Amino acid sequence: MSERESKRKTLVGAIHPDVLAFTVGQDPRLDLDLVEWDCLGSAAHVTMLSRMRITPVLFLPEECEAVIRELVAIMRLGRDGAFAITAEDQDVHLAVERHLTERLGDLGRRIHTGRSRNDQVAVDLRLHARDNLLGVFEESTALADALLALARRHLRVPMVGRTHLQPAMPSSVGLWASGYAEGLLDDLLVVESAYAYADRCPLGSAAGYGVPLPLDRKLTARLLAFSAPHHNVFHASNTRGKCEAVILGALLQRAGGRRVGAVLRVTIRQLAPITLALVGMLGLSRVMVHAGMTATLALAAAGAVGGLWPLVAPLVGVLGTFITGSATASNILFGELQVATARDLGMPTLTLLAAQDMGAAMGNMICPHNIIAGGATVGLAGREGEVLRRTLWPGLLYALLAGALALGLIALGR
């Protein structure tokens, strides 16, 4: 079967199965939480398009109503767990548009006018976030009310006030419980700021530069109950990721010590092997320097290759990454070799270090560690040898081109 025949047909063209698996990932499952929000965003968008004053009109009133009726039907399917997102759909946006097209023909395709999946996912996530932040408000204030009720019931019940792990002052359950209630309300000030940050509508910014249509972005924002649209479409696109980070930051400060400790333990477990490897590489590089091994290798390299060393320097970086599994470790291991060789050949140190760094980065293409991890991610476990054969020659070619660039820069006196 030819490569063209093996590609899978999607709404955005034919895509190789491996590429499709890698780019889609878990989106078909995770995006099920966004079905309702995507339908609401689409309903607001088609309403705005139906009122846009252009000739010919994009949607007649009855066509707009037909689309919204079908969107409501999709929302019901989503709530019942009967709406499916396939790998060929890639995400919730194309799945909804596919369903509309199957049911309404050209009307379903036409709904994409004036928008991009970039602003669609941005508005979906903000609608989803606002709803959940309101849930945080509701549950947190309910907990604060319960704590205050507890404080009122036990206002004068004695309780030992402790500091530095020992009794300090006589206190009461009322003081203790109401203190936590006030802390919760203080935390909600930060959550309120996160809600305000998410309460602007990015729809209509498309891929970050707007569209040449008279979109009424204020109408869309009003229909979706946003306080306002983002004024600058470029900024609206740039807030993707930042908005979610603001929300996560606001919620993290509410996490208990046990949860933060659990996250910290997982993080340490994940970082421990990497840290040990980097410390090991650093120790090995220091041993090589102090034992004279680096100087000896540099003299040998200078004598064997001479003025063509810049052409070879990136290949050393590639070799380091191939061996160690890390571009950082490669630079630690062979950085001193590049410095010593530059000194022996009278060449600019920074240029050779840059060549080393470029080669180390390119080594990630053929690094067995990366190939194994990537293969496991996209379902290519057991085919690592095939992947290496396909990436080996491009990786080496890129390294040689980087070396030619370094050689040219040195020849030009840069």
Which of the 8 DSSP states describes residue 322? H
User: In the chain, helix, strand, coil percent, each to 5?
Assistant: 75, 5, 20
Tokens, residue 51: 């009122």
pLDDT of res. 277: 63
* Start-end of H helices in 291-367: 293-305, 309-324, 327-345, 349-362
pLDDT of res. 134: 94
Residue-wise pLDDT tens digits, 129-181: 999 999 999 999 999 999 999 999 999 888 888 777 677 788 898 999 999 99
Same CATH fold, 118-254 and 3-113? Answer: no
Burial class (CB in 10 A: 0-12, 13-18, 19+), 291: exposed
pLDDT of res. 383: 82
pLDDT of res. 337: 85
Given the candidates 1.20.200.10, 1.10.10.60, 3.40.47.10, 3.40.50.720, the CATH classification of the domain at 118-254 is 1.20.200.10
Q: Which CATH superfamily is domain 3-113 in?
A: Fumarase/aspartase (N-terminal domain) (1.10.275.10)
| pLDDT < 70 regions, the chain | 1-6, 11-12, 165, 253-261, 263-264, 267, 270-271, 274-275, 277-282, 284-286, 288-289, 294-295, 297-298, 373, 376-379, 414
Tokens, residue 54: 């252009």
Residues 321 and 296 sit within 8 Å (Cβ to Cβ): no
User: What is d(CA 102, CA 123) in angstroms, rounded to the nearest whole number?
Assistant: 24
Domain-by-domain residue ranges, the chain?
3-113, 118-254, 260-411
The secondary structure of 84-140, three-state, reads: CCCCCCCCHHHHHHHHHHHHHCHHHHHCCCCCCHHHHHHHHHHHHHHHHHHHHHHHH
pLDDT of res. 89: 86
H or E stretch covering 229: strand 228-229
Residue with tokens 């290519």: 380
User: What is d(CA 335, CA 331) in angstroms, rounded to the nearest whole number?
Assistant: 5
pLDDT of res. 99: 93
CB contact set of 200 (below 8 Å; sequence gap of 6+): 126, 221, 226, 227, 228, 229, 230, 236
Radius of gyration, CA atoms only, the chain? 30
Neighbours of 187 (CB within 10 A): 17
